[in-house]
């Protein structure tokens, strides 16, 4: 049966029709499918049964086998009116099957408030040619419900408040044209629910408050054109949920406050158009939420207040399109944005996240991680390989940056150093100069450790000279002045060196291996001579009124060099502070 035609023509012939199951119908319906240029595309034959005959079978409780039938103007609402029944009285349908059937009704085909008895309900390959199709408030007992490969030509489809039994529900490969598709408050059973490869056309598709229960749910490779796709307040059970490769067109997609519960949720390679995408308040207790290699359009992407406390949420390689992205106050176990292009504003001020992975990302706009009205609890932040062309709003102390990076177990010292370097440059651009200094110190520390590790990996005997060199840098460059970022610390270090050398001279006096003499004949006490000589030597004043003899000459030379070095170190750190 064709799914693409301009119009159709029906002829009823007084010729018997025998179905594939051997059921004989007294008349045959010949349906011609016609293209817009009036060319006949295809011709199909069906058995013909009138609605009145179907109503009689319902009245006497006979099984309804409508396979390969042409059914015109079927409506349970009309049946109730004719039988003087209440508009919402349930009508029991026994043994219903309508495979490869053709339903035709300008006013719509109506199965509302039907109660299908246990057993399979099969509409596979059927065709609803005109009018709205309604299964509103229908009860379907246990068994397979099969709407696979069905063509809903009108596109207005009503399954609101429909209750499905414990069997599987298939809408796979169906085509639903433009219109409203309403599944609000539908109640599915525990079997597989699949809309895989279904075409929903344009218009509103509503699964508001739908309960999918415990079965797996698949919208894999499903296609929506434009309009709205609404899953607000829907509840999923413990099964896996797949929207893999789904095409949402330019629809506004709404998953607000959806409860995914404990299943694995898969949106991998889905394609969104230019409508807004909203996952605000969504909840997933366990499992995994995968959003890899998804393509988004120009709309807003809202993932705020999501409750994914014990869940890994993965957006690796996703193209976030042209709109702003927000994860404001959400909770995750892990949030991964690895290898994404972050071209527009990203609000990553999450309430809690054990591990946030921004490695290998390219940032061209703003990433906001700076606390404002609530604490941001991120245990580990991975910025390895980030290309920062934009700006990160983050605070060294409030975000606990040092702990977030040093806790990483899977990155090397070189990668940690690079992350601190990126942050140093970022803080320079944002004018956070104190944070810049702290980042620079951590960058140099991890860089030094990385060089030591690499040298030891090349040859273990390199330790003989690399450890002393590393120790000297650690003492002089790091501890003495925090890599020229702290002038006050350099001053204290200078004072410490001065006092140390003074006591060295005193010690040398006490063991009689050196002396400090006066060239003016004015003698000072031993303590005064030691401290005075140390001062003029360290500061490279060189009055010449006191001079060393013995071993003190060696230490005086060393102290003179140390003093000159530390004064230069102080000058660099002070000028660095002033010029910024």
The answer to whether residue 448 is domain-embedded is yes
One domain, residues 119 and 28? yes
Per-residue pLDDT of 298-342, as tens digits, reads 999 999 999 999 899 999 999 999 999 999 999 999 999 999 999
One domain, residues 494 and 574? yes
Per-residue pLDDT of 450-505, as tens digits, reads 988 888 777 877 777 677 877 888 888 888 888 888 888 888 988 999 999 999 98
Two tokens at 297? 């359009």
> What phi and psi, each to the nearest 5 degrees, are found at residue 248?
-95, 0
CA distance 103 to 150: 11
Task: Look at the chain and report how many structural domains it folds into.
Answer: 3
One domain, residues 428 and 497? no
Query: Which residues are 187's β-sheet partners?
Result: 163, 211
The answer to whether residue 78 is domain-embedded is yes
- Indicate the burial class of 465 (C-beta count within 10 angstroms; 0-12, 13-18, 19 or more): exposed
CA distance 151 to 4: 10
Residues listed for the chain = 580
Q: If phi over 0 gives left and psi between -120 and 50 gives alpha, with beta otherwise, what is residue 322? A: alpha
Widest pairwise Cα distance in the chain: 144
pLDDT of residue 1: 67
Per-residue pLDDT of 381-420, as tens digits, reads 999 999 999 999 999 999 999 999 999 999 999 999 999 9
Domain boundary among 141, 170, 198: 141
One domain, residues 470 and 497? no
pLDDT of residue 544: 77
The answer to whether residue 512 is domain-embedded is yes
Two tokens at 31? 């349906």
One domain, residues 1 and 132? yes
Q: Distance from first CA to last CA of the chain, Å, rounded?
A: 76
CATH code, domain carrying 543:
1.10.287.70
One domain, residues 462 and 442? yes
Q: Which domain holds residue 522?
A: 487-579
Sheet holding 102-104, edge to edge: 7-13, 27-34, 40-49, 69-72, 102-104, 127-128, 151-152, 175-176
Q: Decide if 350 contacts 376 (C-beta within 8 A).
A: yes
The answer to whether residue 221 is domain-embedded is no
The answer to whether residue 459 is domain-embedded is yes
Number of H helices, E strands in the chain: 9, 45
The answer to whether residue 53 is domain-embedded is yes
CA distances to 37, 140, 267, 307, 332 from 289, in Å: 49, 32, 8, 12, 10
One domain, residues 464 and 492? no
Low-confidence ranges of the chain (pLDDT < 50): none
The answer to whether residue 137 is domain-embedded is yes
pTM assigned to the model: 0.85
Domain boundary among 446, 475, 504: 475
One domain, residues 4 and 129? yes
One domain, residues 129 and 43? yes
Query: Which residues are 115's β-sheet partners?
Result: 92, 139
CA neighbor of 121 nearest in space, from 101, 104, 106: 101
One domain, residues 456 and 496? no
The answer to whether residue 491 is domain-embedded is yes
One domain, residues 6 and 74? yes
pLDDT of residue 307: 95
Task: For tokens 């360290």, name the residue.
Answer: 538
Domain boundary among 451, 475, 499: 475
One domain, residues 95 and 123? yes
- Indicate the burial class of 347 (C-beta count within 10 angstroms; 0-12, 13-18, 19 or more): buried
């Amino acid at each position: 049966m064709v799914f693409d035609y301009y119009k159709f023509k029906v002829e009823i012939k007084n010729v018997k029709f025998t179905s594939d199951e051997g059921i004989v119908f007294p008349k045959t319906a010949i349906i011609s499918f016609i293209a817009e240029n009036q060319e006949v595309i295809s011709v199909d034959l069906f058995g013909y049964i009138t609605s009145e005959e179907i109503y009689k079978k319902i009245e006497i409780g006979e099984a309804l086998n409508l396979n390969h039938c042409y059914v015109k103007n079927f409506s349970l609402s009309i049946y109730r009116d004719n039988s003087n029944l209440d508009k919402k009285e349930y009508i029991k349908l026994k043994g219903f099957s309508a495979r490869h059937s053709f339903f035709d009704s300008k006013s719509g085909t109506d199965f509302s408030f039907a109660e299908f008895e246990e057993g399979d309900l099969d509409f596979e390959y059927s065709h609803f040619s005109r009018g709205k199709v309604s299964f509103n408030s229908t009860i379907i007992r246990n068994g397979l419900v099969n709407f696979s490969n069905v063509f809903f030509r009108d596109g207005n489809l009503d399954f609101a408040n429909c209750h499905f039994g414990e069997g599987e529900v298939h809408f796979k490969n169906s085509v639903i044209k433009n219109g409203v598709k309403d599944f609000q408050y539908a109640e599915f059973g525990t079997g597989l629910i699949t809309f895989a490869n279904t075409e929903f056309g344009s218009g509103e598709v509503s699964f508001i408050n739908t309960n999918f229960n415990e079965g797996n749910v698949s919208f894999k490779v499903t296609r929506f054109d434009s309009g709205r796709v609404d899953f607000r307040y829907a509840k999923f059970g413990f099964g896996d949920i797949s929207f893999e490769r789904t095409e949402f067109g330019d629809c506004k997609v709404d998953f607000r406050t959806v409860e995914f519960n404990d299943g694995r949720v898969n949106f991998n390679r889905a394609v969104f158009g230019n409508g807004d995408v909203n996952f605000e308040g969504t909840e997933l207790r366990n499992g995994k939420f995968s959003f890899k290699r998804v393509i988004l359009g120009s709309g807003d992407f809202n993932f705020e207040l999501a409750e994914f406390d014990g869940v890994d949420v993965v957006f690796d390689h996703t193209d976030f399109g042209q709109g702003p992205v927000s994860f404001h106050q959400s909770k995750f176990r892990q949030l991964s944005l690895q290898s994404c292009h972050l071209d527009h504003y990203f609000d990553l001020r999450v309430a809690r996240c054990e591990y946030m992975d921004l490695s290998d990302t390219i940032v061209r706009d703003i990433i906001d991680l700076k606390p404002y009205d609530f604490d941001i609890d991120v245990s580990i932040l991975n910025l390895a390989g980030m290309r920062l062309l934009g700006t990160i709003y983050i605070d060294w102390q409030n975000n606990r940056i040092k702990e977030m990076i040093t806790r990483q177990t899977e990155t090397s010292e070189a990668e940690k150093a690079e992350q601190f370097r990126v942050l140093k440059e970022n803080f320079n651009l944002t004018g956070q100069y104190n944070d810049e200094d702290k980042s620079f110190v951590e960058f140099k520390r991890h860089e030094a450790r990385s060089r030591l590790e690499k040298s030891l990996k090349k040859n273990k005997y390199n330790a003989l000279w690399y450890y002393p060199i590393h120790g000297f840098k650690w003492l002089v460059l790091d501890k003495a002045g925090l890599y020229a970022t702290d002038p006050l610390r350099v001053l204290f270090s200078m004072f410490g060196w001065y006092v140390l050398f003074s006591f060295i001279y005193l010690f040398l006096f006490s063991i009689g291996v050196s002396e400090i003499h006066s060239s003016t004949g004015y003698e000072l006490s031993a303590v005064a001579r030691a401290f005075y000589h140390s001062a003029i030597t360290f500061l490279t004043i060189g009055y010449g009124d006191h001079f060393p003899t013995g071993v003190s000459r060696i230490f005086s030379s060393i102290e003179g060099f140390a003093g000159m070095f530390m004064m230069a170190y102080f000058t660099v750190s002070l000028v660095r502070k002033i010029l910024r």
